[in-house]
Amino acid sequence: MNEAHHSDENDTDQPADALIAQCLNPENPKSFFLFAGAGSGKTRSLVAALEHVQANWGEGLRRQGKRVGVITFTNAASDEIKRRIQFDALFDVRTIHSFAWSLIEGLNHDIRQWLGVKISEDLDDLREKEAKGRAGKASDDRKLKIVAATKRLDSLPSIKTFIYSPAGTNRTRDALSHAEVIRIAAHFLQSKPRMQSIFVGRYPILLVDESQDTNRHLIDALFEVSAKQAGSFSLGLIGDTMQQIYADGKEGLGTALPSTWATPGKQMNHRCPKRVVSLLNRVRSTVDPHQQQARTDACEGTVRLFIVPSSIEDKPGLEDRVAARMAELSLDQQWLQRDAVKTLTLEHRMAAARLGCLDAFVALYEIDSTSLLNGTQPLATFFTDQVLPLVNAHQRDDRFAVMRLLKTLSPLLSVEKLKGSPGKSQLAEARSAVDELARLLADGRDPTLQEILIRVSEQHLLQVPERLAAWTVASEEETSDDVEVSDDDVRRKLIDDLLATPFSQISPLATYLSRKARFDTHQGVKGLEFERVMVIMDDGEARGFMFKYEDLFGRKAEGKTLEATRRLFYVTASRATQSLALVAYTEDVMRVKKFILNNAWFSEDEVITTV
């Protein structure tokens, strides 16, 4: 009887799922906004909605050639939803950029017209600012942009087909940028009635996950489609404005909705312990009336705020002591196991520094941050996905793994090579090349990446990326300080910096880029959960401008940065399923402590200033 009572209390959100199911009836579609706070099980609700459509309306939609569109925030979320619905082709699950591109791909004439107008407007704006502005770095930057935009505008008539890669850098003249794809798709949906009709005919139902962080231009366009196609289109927005952490989302989404929209809400937090839920409720109480309820069977949980002077020298050492203190307070010795604690930093460099791969990460990040973080940057993957696995397999004396990698990666064992000479001699040459590479690391030596690169090139062991070809021989050439520095010079300097780093940085770099490290960023863990979470809040080390934890803890009373930081704090704190350590580095320990206690975020015994 008691268990049934608990089950009833924990299932209080079932009416929300029932209301969503009603909205998705293709014969009487209705748009809705689902408020789904942290840990409320929104992915579960999303999948349940898709399964309901699949069971009740799937065959009819298939016969008509229609699909259900689902926009997710990350590739990982997209893959997870596809897996849960068993990859049913009825559902078109994509990230926002992939979805937007699917709407406009091939509309080359319309894209060219849009770009012509947009680039001309941007040029007029740049020239006006340059005419009024003063000489200096900003002026130099404007002049470079004017030259680049003029060249691009002149090249538009010669481009027959525009291209785009959701995961790429899109640098060629015929490529669209990520921002342009979103803006073009939104503009076409709003300005072309024919496209609206085609869109709704293809997707009578469209669900948007993490809608509070979905680009506002596309959200506005979807609102217009929903209004003009009422009766034949269901738009479902799923989100929580308190978890909006990106600036291009639509402010106030979920408020002032059309009267015809349904507004289901989820009150439960199925993820967090009771103490974390009460903290989250307190933090958002000054923002909106939404309050969550912890599960009746949730643990109490342990939460502590450590306030530390930002001038402290050994921050990693301090964070180790925090973990040891949390092990005592929570009676959980797993806090002493580094890999059992997810540590969240505000900026990637902070994580790279603590992992021991800062030099390699910074050089690669400055070369191209987008491709580095999405795992497609050739300069990074050459070392992380080719050289490192070969070295590791050789050091384990795993001959089968070495041979498997060589067959996949090495030109020495290409089909052409094997045709031209006896297979045994080629195998022997490949093994010898691996041995030569391994000698660089013998006896504990830690060669630079350039030494590794030269050895690999000399032995023809791997295909060297084109951008690294010039560094396959040692060079004494130096750039004179008197010579004007170009963009190519800057890139060369960054590659110099990369190749000067020791090979020992590649293993932690590979772990971090594969999202398997004990570190992640505050923004990067949305939608994820971990048993033990340590949040590092350090404005000085982060060097950012969008988020300021000093403002959140009493330095400022209001402002956009303050509110953005409050939302980010909410997101990071809500990742913990058992215990949570918050480490605030500050210039004024007593001010932060006074603010925290006055606002009743923590009790006196939960605030620690000596570690």
- Residue 30's nearest CA partner among 262, 220, 202, 210 is 262
> Helix and strand tally (H, E) in the chain?
28, 14
- Residue 577's nearest CA partner among 281, 316, 271 is 271
* 385: confidence class by pLDDT, cuts 50, 70, 90: very high
The whole-angstrom separation of Cα 105 and Cα 156 is 16
Q: What percent of the chain has pLDDT over 70?
A: 93
pLDDT of residue 542: 84
* 422: confidence class by pLDDT, cuts 50, 70, 90: low
pLDDT of residue 528: 87
> pLDDT at residue 479 above 80?
no
Measured in whole angstroms, the distance separating CA 276 from the mean position of its chain's CA atoms is: 24
Look at 414 and 119; give whichever has higher pLDDT: 119
How confident is the model over 430-448, as pLDDT tens digits? 889 999 999 999 999 999 9
* 476: confidence class by pLDDT, cuts 50, 70, 90: very low
pLDDT of residue 363: 94
> pLDDT at residue 484 above 50?
no
Is 35:265 a contact under the CB 8 Å cutoff? Answer: yes
Beta strand residue intervals within 169-233, DSSP E: 205-208
What stretch(es) of the chain map to CATH 3.40.50.300?
13-103+182-266
pLDDT of residue 3: 47
pLDDT of residue 451: 96
Could you tell me the strand order of the sheet in which 576-586 lies? 519-521, 342-345, 530-537, 576-586, 302-309, 607-608
Mean per-residue pLDDT, 138-153:
86
Mean per-residue pLDDT, 74-86:
90
Is 520:351 a contact under the CB 8 Å cutoff? Answer: yes
pLDDT of residue 420: 58
How confident is the model over 217-252, as pLDDT tens digits? 999 999 999 999 999 999 999 999 899 888 888 888
* 364: confidence class by pLDDT, cuts 50, 70, 90: very high
Mean per-residue pLDDT, 100-108:
96
How confident is the model over 157-207, as pLDDT tens digits? 999 999 998 876 666 789 898 889 999 999 999 999 999 999 999 999 999
When the pLDDT of each residue in the chain is averaged and rounded to a whole number, the result is 90
* Mean pLDDT lowest among 243-252, 334-343, 548-557, 562-571: 243-252
- Residue 210's nearest CA partner among 221, 202, 219, 220 is 219
Query: The CATH number of 13-103+182-266 is which of 2.40.50.140, 3.40.50.300, 2.60.120.20, 2.60.40.10?
Result: 3.40.50.300
Ranges 72-81, 421-430, 449-458, 553-562, most confident: 449-458
pTM above 0.85, yes or no: no
The whole-angstrom separation of Cα 37 and Cα 215 is 20
Q: What percent of the chain has pLDDT over 90?
A: 72
How confident is the model over 494-530, as pLDDT tens digits? 999 999 999 999 999 999 999 889 999 988 888 889 9
pLDDT of residue 273: 98
Ranges 76-80, 344-348, 505-509, most confident: 505-509
* Mean pLDDT lowest among 44-58, 139-153, 265-279, 289-303: 139-153
pLDDT of residue 509: 96
The whole-angstrom separation of Cα 53 and Cα 75 is 23
Largest CA distance in the chain: 84
pLDDT of residue 472: 87
The whole-angstrom separation of Cα 558 and Cα 552 is 9
- C-alpha R_g of the chain: 27
The whole-angstrom separation of Cα 205 and Cα 85 is 16
> pLDDT at residue 123 above 70?
yes
- Residue 502's nearest CA partner among 358, 369, 316 is 358
CATH fold, domain 274-346+522-608, is Rossmann fold (3.40.50)
- Residue 446's nearest CA partner among 399, 391, 401, 497 is 391
pLDDT of residue 417: 65
**Alpha-carbon distances of 506 from 100, 366, 382, rounded to whole Å:** 35, 17, 10
pLDDT of residue 477: 47
Phi, psi (deg, nearest 5) at residue 85: -100, 15
